[in-house]
């Protein structure tokens, strides 16, 4: 067993080195094919930057799985994943060059997800929940699986706003999924966490070129690919899902899911289309509060690590402890979100309650406001 692990580590290291070598080549290719970002109103970069850097991660991942780990990973398992991911990568690459509409990007992701569902047969078939028992999803299996993949893919794409942010958060999330998978999946499917660690090694080789100050961007090519792969890998333990297996990946992916959910809430409250862009995402808010570029990224890494630690605790906790973990984590997250103003300064219900209980002067001010409004109505 020790020799097997040693062999795996050596091959993962070679995957990392290969990614280090391939990334500069892809950087030059990106300029040649017109995949680059010029400075603009919604861009952080101040000079023309090559994008589509995610191509290097995809190529290295595919090569490593099919060649370097061919004796360990079943071909009939990995080929559909590489094919489905390839469709998503192609969609992202076209968007990086020509800019696709949200509907066309969604179509590309859904096509890749259909390959995962029907060819790879990675899906949610049933759920076992407290008080409800075992529920066979039947026809709901397809829409729920597609929704999961589409939601996570877009969530990772949304946080790709600062140098190294999406790639770093992906490394943290995938490593956590891989560790949990290694200890909780059946021994016969040990190749699943190995595939996850291959992806981590592929991202790690790209990361030095992507961290601040970046020399190459992930682009939609990389952000969509990483989101898609995280969604697919997190589905591995959800075939016959329980409450624990459903909630664990959601906690691990707490940063992108939180940013996406609050973006939707924010746009609905402001009566704007959900697909509309704004500069109120988590990284934007941290920058507006005075964080440096690197400081904002490191803060979000820290938040992602907290979520991962909670997910690891959750995997070992009892039912009561799990519920308490969820409740206190949710309260802490909501407080953090309100403090940085992710939804807006006028929408801070938890901070309002805390001020009401802890600040007598604030209570008097609120009472006077209400009395003033009441007298005006009269």
Q: Are 37 and 49 in contact (CB under 8 A)?
A: yes
Q: Are 113 and 84 in contact (CB under 8 A)?
A: yes
Task: Please report how many Cα atoms fall inside a 13 Å half-sphere around the Cα of residue 88, on the Cβ side.
Answer: 34
Q: Is 220 assigned a ligand-binding role in the annotation?
A: yes
Closest CA to 144 of 166, 160, 170, 122: 122
CA distance readout (Å), 115 to 6, 202, 325: 33, 23, 36
Q: How far apart are the first and last CA of the chain?
A: 81
Over its C-alpha atoms, the chain yields an Rg (Å, rounded) of 22
Q: Token pair for residue 317?
A: 């906790």
Q: How far apart are CA 218 and CA 295, in angstroms?
A: 20
**Cis peptide upstream of residue 213 (ω within 30 degrees of 0):** yes
Closest CA to 297 of 338, 37, 348, 305: 305
Q: Is 136 assigned a ligand-binding role in the annotation?
A: no
Q: How many CB atoms lie within 10 A of CB 243?
A: 16
Q: How far apart are CA 192 and CA 181, in angstroms?
A: 8
DSSP characters for 142-186?
HHHHHHHHHHHHHHHHHTTTSTTHHHHHHHHHHHHHHHHHHHHS-
SS3 sequence of 170-182? HHHHHHHHHHHHH
Binding-site entries for Mg(2+): 157, 220
Binding-site entries: 157, 220
């Amino acid at each position: 067993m020790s020799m097997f692990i040693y062999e795996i580590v050596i091959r993962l290291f070679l995957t990392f080195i290969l990614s280090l070598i391939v990334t500069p080549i892809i950087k030059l290719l990106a300029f040649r094919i017109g995949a680059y970002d010029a400075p603009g109103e919604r861009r952080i970069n101040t000079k023309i930057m090559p994008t589509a850097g995610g191509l290097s991660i995809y190529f290295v991942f595919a090569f490593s799985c099919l060649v370097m780990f061919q004796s360990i990973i079943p071909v009939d398992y990995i080929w559909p994943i590489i094919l489905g991911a390839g469709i998503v990568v192609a969609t992202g690459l076209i968007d990086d060059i020509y800019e696709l509409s949200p509907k066309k990007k969604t179509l590309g992701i859904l096509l890749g997800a259909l390959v995962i569902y029907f060819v790879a047969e990675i899906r949610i078939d049933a759920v076992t929940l407290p008080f409800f028992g075992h529920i066979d999803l039947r026809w709901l299996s397809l829409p729920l699986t597609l929704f999961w993949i589409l939601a996570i893919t877009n969530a990772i794409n949304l946080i790709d706003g600062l140098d190294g942010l999406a790639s770093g958060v992906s490394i943290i999330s995938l490593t956590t999924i891989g560790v949990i998978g290694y200890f909780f999946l059946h021994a016969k499917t040990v190749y699943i966490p190995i595939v996850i660690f291959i992806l981590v090694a592929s991202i790690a080789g790209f990361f030095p070129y992507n961290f601040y100050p970046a020399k190459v961007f992930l682009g939609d090519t990389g952000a969509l690919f990483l989101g898609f792969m995280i969604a697919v890998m997190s589905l591995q333990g959800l075939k016959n899902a329980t409450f624990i297996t459903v909630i664990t990946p959601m906690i691990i992916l707490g940063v992108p899911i939180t940013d996406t959910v609050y973006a939707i809430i924010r746009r609905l409250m402001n009566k704007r289309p959900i697909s509309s862009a704004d500069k109120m995402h988590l990284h934007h808010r941290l920058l507006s509060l005075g964080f440096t570029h690197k400081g904002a990224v490191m803060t979000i890494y820290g938040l992602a690590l907290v979520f991962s630690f909670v997910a690891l605790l959750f995997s070992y906790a009892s039912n009561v402890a799990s519920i308490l973990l969820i409740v206190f984590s949710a309260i802490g997250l909501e407080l953090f979100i309100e403090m940085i103003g992710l939804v807006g300064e006028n929408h801070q219900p938890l901070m309002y309650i805390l001020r009401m209980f802890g600040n007598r002067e604030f209570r008097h001010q609120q009472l006077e406001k209400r009395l003033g409004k009441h007298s005006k109505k009269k």
